[in-house]
Structure 1
Amino acid sequence: MSLSISPAARDALAGWLDHIRALDNAAENTLRAYQTDVLDFLSFMTGHKGAADGLGPLLRITQSDMRAWMAHARGRGVAARSLARALSAVKTFYRWLGEREGHEPTAVLATRAPKFRKKLPRPLSPDAAKAMLDTVGIQNTTPWIAARDMAVVTLLYGCGLRISEALSLTGASVPLPDVLRIKGKGGKERIVPVLPIARDAVNDYVRNCPHDLAADTPLFRGARGGALSARAISGVVASVRMQLGLPATATPHALRHSFATHLLEAGGDLRAIQELLGHASLSTTQAYTAVDTARLMEVYAKAHPHGQSSA
């Protein structure tokens, strides 16, 4: 956009980016995306409000102004997903600006993002999932770290855990029982059976780990002994993905999808899988699987009383 923004707005944008860089340690690519999104917004508002001096006009934005910006963006061909991302950046900027200026940016924060269908990671094939497990454990030359990575990835695929759930386990969890009580999203608790392969993988890690895994400390540790980060596991999976020639959708979370899909393909009950995953809605579970409609109807017909009576 050719319009310039006021020096005060430009200084505010620079100050916000410095704040994020220092506080959140955000990657440069993320900062550039934030800068582009918020600068486009401020440029539009500068022209729309007909004023380029100071922050005043930008602090008096109404819901009508927000609708005008979103309509303008969609008119330029900005996709709903991209617009939602831009709105998130704008809201974050305005929260910071509002705190700095003693102003409540109600209209900005109350704006709803456009709806769009979220892309779910595609599950791996059974052979690809097995190859992933076989390869994860040989990525690191330090035995206990290799065992750790194997244990975490086995929990993702073998138990359908979210990566945050696996990394929230403590020393009190070992040895793993026959079933785990997992507290998932929204504090909802569910029961997850533990396969022998998962228990063995965790036991192997515990035997090799050089750190004291006290009951009230994280079970999975980083190389220096601190809590293991999700980013570290994502890096390992990315390395394996490239070695095996798997698509970019082969992420840690895709292993959870694979768990659900492969259970359903093997004849598992959709509602039982819903409980294992901790989904509040059955439709969410269905979206997480990659089984074709005919297969879903076959499972449904076998499980549903009406389907059984008419068979």
Structure 2
Amino acid sequence: MVNIVLAAAAVIQRQDGFLLMAQRPPGRGWSGWWEFPGGKIEENESPFEALQRELQEEINISANDATLWFERSYSYPDKKVYIYFFKVTNWTGEIKSCENQLLEWQNPSHVSVAPILPTNLFVLKSILLPPVYAITNIEELGEKLFFERLKIKLEEGLKMIQVREKKLPYQDVKKIAQKILDLAKPHQAKVLINENEKLALDIGADGVHYPSHSLIQLKDRPEFSICGASCHNLEELMIAQDLEMSFAVLSPVQKTESHPLADPIGWEIFSEYANKLDMPIFALGGLNQVSLTKSWQCGGHGVAMQRSIWE
């Protein structure tokens, strides 16, 4: 029988975006490795109660607003570790080392401490990405209605959009993409172009999203700051991870209007694949905003939507 260990971890983030990391002290397993503060959940303890106790014991603080972010499982030869990651941006007390461990504030874009526990690598990549990834659907909505909806969504906090209009001529897509980019910039929202690297360079987009047929032909990671990939199985996900892509989109999780004949993988397979990888994975296919919590519970980063996001 596999020994299952439950743990709670705190992703403590300052206003400047820096994250607090702790080095495991001598005498403990994985001594010298860096991680997020936290520890084992004791019997009859909730994840939140364990988090508060560990924060007090390890670094002398109490979290004022610990929000459960996502849940991940990791398999080792002798045990399976299930971790509840909480995001903490406000706390009481002065942070200090209480267990002889080194503490460092790290910029998630340029982490300088090493080595980092494998269970924590996913967090460093995920913290840089928003949980909702919108995909354009001008073909169905029409340009006028789409831009009306886009403005509303940007006001509501949408932070990442993929321009995917495969049936339009290059110049039309370029015009649309430029308009999306101009609307997104004041909201600090990122704009990615589907597949077309030339278009991304022409308009100064934030990155490119590669369909699976393009992904498997890549030899090296493209030189865009954000590189996404569409994946449909574990093999493609592993290729995306080996290329160090920024994230992957795994689909279809549920039945979709656009691909009615495609067999959905379901949440169980999504969870199995997501928890095998150290990269952020968005769930796509028949999902809506409510599906976000399910994605987090399954070890995913968030959800991607092409239809329901614009409703």
Could you tell me the TM-score, scaled by structure 2's length?
A: 0.27
Structure showing the higher strand proportion among its residues = 2
Structure showing the higher helix proportion among its residues = 1
Could you tell me the TM-score, scaled by structure 1's length?
A: 0.27
